[in-house]
Amino acid sequence: MAQHAAKGARFQAVTANRLSDGEVVYWSADNRWVEGFTEAEIADGADAADALLARAMPADFEAHVLEPYLFEVLEDGSFYKPASVRETIRAAGPTVRLDLGKQAGA
Amino acid sequence: MYRYDEFDHQLVADRVSQFRGQVERRVSGALTEDQFKPLRLMNGVYLQLHAYMLRVAIPYGTLRSEQMRMLAHIARKYDRGYSHFTTRQNIQYNWPALDKIPDLLDELATVEMHAIQTSGNCIRNVTSDQYAGAIADEVEDPRIISEIIRQWSTFHPEFTYLPRKFKIAVTGHENDRAAIKLHDIGIVVKQNSAGEIGYEVHVGGGQGRTPFVAKKMTDFVPKEKLLAYLEAVMRVYNMLGRRDNSYKARIKILVHETGQEEMQRLVEAEFAKIDASDMLTVPQEEIDRISAYFAPPAFETLPAESETFTQAQAADADVARFVRANVVAHKQAGYAIVNISLKPIGGVPGDATDTQMDVIADLAENHSLDEVRVTHEQNLVLPHVKLDDVKAVYDALAAHELATANLGLISDQIACPGLDYCNLANARSIPLAQEISERFADLDRQYDIGELKIKISGCINACGHHHVGHIGILGVDKKGTEFYQISLGGAADENAAIGQITGRAFTEEDIVDAIETVVTTYTDLRADGERFIDTYNRLGMAPFKERLYD
């Protein structure tokens, strides 16, 4: 499985791509896949992250999404943001086409 | 151009039908992703950062106008109104929904196109010279043997599960525009002293994390024996190529570790066995049948000079610049090869909108004997334009932001999709290409700098060909932050060379300044008439490194 969080990362969230169209999705606190990063559940600590990933991967997860994984997020004031450029781009869309991806509807 | 026969039509129709069933079973849950992934990859479907990506094959980079029109239609109907031409003369769609891809492939099949051989560990789509059949002094149109190779390699049962992907490129001209020495097999069409056509074969070239220039395996294979020779190379690779480590599985590693002479011996021994069976000797009537598809189109008999063409350049400096940079002499009197740059200043290298593709399809139909070519440098070509028509073609291109007069210049950069789209990338490529083209936007400055090929990859897989850029740029990730490593002295032409890394990588903020430092070092030190690569080859790395790091 892909590693997208540094060892010792405190805050993490779970992301995947939706099976039907490849859309980037996040596991939310109400146990469903959502399109917006702001709705993602944030796990605090390694044990909470492992538990979050386990909840996101029930037996039938492959009927809905591809390759769920944990990624690191950072506190940004009272909000959170993805730690890496990669996850920042996945959460928004191509930086060279601001009319496309999630950022287009923001 | 080649047209499908009944077997081609059936083969593609069957493949689409098969894939439709596979998609339905994946969506229904009957197939797991582990089961489905190799199947979708065999049909050109990748998963990228934001969505699925579909790569469509453009055999040897040749398109009819109706095919280009279909590619525009697909961009409009199934994607977001644009598409991306790749460094392997293919086209990629960035946003198709999985369950719509079978319908998309059905529509593609109506114009004899598909996504076969665009992914997976098979022999990939054959690439060739974009000026094939149009440029003077060509030994033979390389698309003839490219098509024969395509037919031999498609669904070849012995080579469907190779150790890794396998790429073949062909040139029919001494000036290599197909980067053949950077391919698993590179083929040069040759004529021997008896006037017979045959092929010089190079094996073991490639880029990625371990770049190599291909080694020559043989000086001349007769035309009817080439498939037997290629089969011999493939068998040696299939038997001895490593399957335990994907980083060491390409034939370039086998050639490197086996040595050129031993590899030649192994291939010759296998070739002798295959040749003795006569099973793969291509019948002359089949060579003639394929050759007929690539017979020269119906050129008009025209004078070599065109007053209209001359006057258009005299009257309009922009037209004169376009001709200077983008128009190449044709083998047929009264015609020209017109290059269409997909590198507008500040644009995304290789991207074209559906409207632009429709415009180019119309121009091909009306002014280029129905043909368009795709280049591995992510540009397009109208190969057969009458000199009298160049101004009209220019006007239509200019009206749709397709007339940037920068072919082969510093702003005509190769760039992979990078971290803006690609699941494998470590850093963004496109924004860097945009910044560099904006920094050097002044065309007069570009003409003064002269030929300079910048190639940018967002990871070590090297889809952006950074190893063979005169200036290569590799994006690397350092703890989630983008850095860029520069290499100098690479070349993808007949003098193919792998560039050398200058030193430590630069930050996103500093990389464009660093590129400008390299360029000004060249302009300060060049001798009369020297291109960047000539100056680098004369002086070596030292003066560039000194200015970059001291």
The CATH number of residue B14's host domain is 3.90.480.20
Task: Answer yes or no: do B436 and B505 share one domain.
Answer: yes
Task: Answer yes or no: do B278 and B147 share one domain.
Answer: yes
Of B97, B99, B480, the CB nearest to A85: B480
Of B52, B425, B430, the CB nearest to A22: B52
Distance of CA B155 to the CA centre of its chain: 22
Cβ separation B51–A23 shorter than 8 A: yes
Interface membership of A85 toward B (CB under 8 Å): yes
Task: Answer yes or no: do B518 and B543 share one domain.
Answer: yes
Interface membership of B33 toward A (CB under 8 Å): yes
Cβ separation A17–B47 shorter than 8 A: yes
Shortest Cα distance, chain A CAs vs residue B431, angstroms: 7
The CATH number of residue B190's host domain is 3.30.413.10
The whole-number pLDDT of residue B259 equals: 97
A-chain residues near B429 (CB < 8 A): none
Angle at CA of residue B45, ends B227 and B30, nearest 5°:
110
Task: Answer yes or no: do B149 and B195 share one domain.
Answer: yes
Cβ separation A19–B27 shorter than 8 A: yes
Query: Coil, helix or strand for B362?
Result: helix
Task: Answer yes or no: do B157 and B282 share one domain.
Answer: yes
Interface membership of A67 toward B (CB under 8 Å): yes
Cβ separation B32–A101 shorter than 8 A: no
Shortest Cα distance, chain B CAs vs residue A86, angstroms: 7
Cβ separation A94–B51 shorter than 8 A: no
Task: Answer yes or no: do B420 and B384 share one domain.
Answer: no
The whole-number pLDDT of residue B500 equals: 98
Chain mean pLDDT for chain A: 93
Helix (H) / strand (E) containing A12 = strand A11-18
Question: Looking at the domain assignment, is residue B403 inside a domain?
Answer: no
Question: Looking at the domain assignment, is residue B485 inside a domain?
Answer: yes
Q: What is the dihedral of CA B250, B253, B256, B258, to 10 degrees?
A: -90
Is residue A1's pLDDT more than 50? no
A-chain residues near B434 (CB < 8 A): 96
Question: Looking at the domain assignment, is residue B262 inside a domain?
Answer: yes
Task: Answer yes or no: do B432 and B528 share one domain.
Answer: yes
Q: Say how far apart CA B382 and CA B389 lie, in whole Å.
A: 12
Chain B, nearest residue to A4 by Cα: B480
Task: Answer yes or no: do B385 and B453 share one domain.
Answer: no
N- to C-terminal Cα separation, chain A: 31
Of B29, B50, B420, the CB nearest to A22: B50
Interface membership of B421 toward A (CB under 8 Å): yes
A-chain residues near B26 (CB < 8 A): 19
Interface membership of B157 toward A (CB under 8 Å): no
N- to C-terminal Cα separation, chain B: 55
Q: pLDDT per residue over A34-77, tens digit each?
A: 999 999 999 999 999 999 999 999 999 999 999 999 999 999 99
The whole-number pLDDT of residue A3 equals: 56
* Boundary-marking domain end, from B368, B398, B428: B398
Question: Looking at the domain assignment, is residue B299 inside a domain?
Answer: no
Cβ separation B33–A84 shorter than 8 A: no
Q: Say how far apart CA B178 and CA B163 lie, in whole Å.
A: 24
State the alpha helices, DSSP H only, in B79-215.
101-109, 142-153
* Boundary-marking domain end, from B369, B398, B427: B398
Number of residues that make up chain A: 106
Task: Answer yes or no: do B180 and B264 share one domain.
Answer: yes
Region for residue B401 given its phi and psi (left: phi exceeds 0; alpha: psi -120 to 50; beta: otherwise): left
The residues in A 19-48 lying below 8 A from B, measured between CB atoms, are 19-24
Task: Answer yes or no: do B43 and B185 share one domain.
Answer: no
According to DSSP, residue B490 is labeled: -
Interface membership of B26 toward A (CB under 8 Å): yes
Question: Looking at the domain assignment, is residue B410 inside a domain?
Answer: no
Q: Say how far apart CA B178 and CA B196 lie, in whole Å.
A: 23
What beta strand segments (E) does B5-154 contain?
45-47, 52-56, 62-64, 82-85, 91-93, 127-128
- Core vs surface per residue B464-480: b (16+ CB within 10 A) or e: bbbbbbbbbbbbbbeeb
At A13, phi and psi to the nearest 5? -135, 170
Of B27, B420, B479, the CB nearest to A94: B420
Q: Which two tokens stand for residue B438?
A: 């904006």
Which residues form the domain of B372?
A: 307-398
Shortest Cα distance, chain A CAs vs residue B428, angstroms: 9
Chain A, nearest residue to B45 by Cα: A22
Is residue A8's pLDDT more than 90? no
Q: Say how far apart CA B60 and CA B58 lie, in whole Å.
A: 6
The whole-number pLDDT of residue A105 equals: 77
The whole-number pLDDT of residue B41 equals: 95
Task: Answer yes or no: do B165 and B229 share one domain.
Answer: yes
Is residue A2's pLDDT more than 60? no
Q: Would you give per-residue pLDDT tens digits along chain B (550 residues)?
A: 889 999 999 999 999 999 999 999 999 999 999 999 999 999 999 999 999 999 999 999 999 999 999 999 999 999 999 999 999 999 999 999 999 999 999 999 999 999 999 999 999 999 999 999 999 999 999 999 999 999 999 999 999 999 999 999 999 999 999 999 999 999 999 999 999 999 999 999 999 999 999 999 999 999 999 999 999 999 999 999 999 999 999 999 999 999 999 999 999 999 999 999 999 999 999 999 999 999 999 999 999 999 999 999 999 999 999 999 999 999 999 999 999 999 999 999 999 999 999 999 999 999 999 999 999 999 999 999 999 999 999 999 999 999 999 999 999 999 999 999 999 999 999 999 999 999 999 999 999 999 999 999 999 999 999 999 999 999 999 987 899 999 999 999 999 999 999 999 999 999 999 999 999 999 999 999 999 999 999 999 999 999 999 8
Residue whose C-alpha is closest to residue B250's, from B200, B203, B195: B203
Task: Answer yes or no: do B154 and B288 share one domain.
Answer: yes
The whole-number pLDDT of residue B363 equals: 98
Question: Looking at the domain assignment, is residue B359 inside a domain?
Answer: yes
Q: What is the number of domains present in chain B?
A: 4
* Boundary-marking domain end, from B372, B398, B424: B398
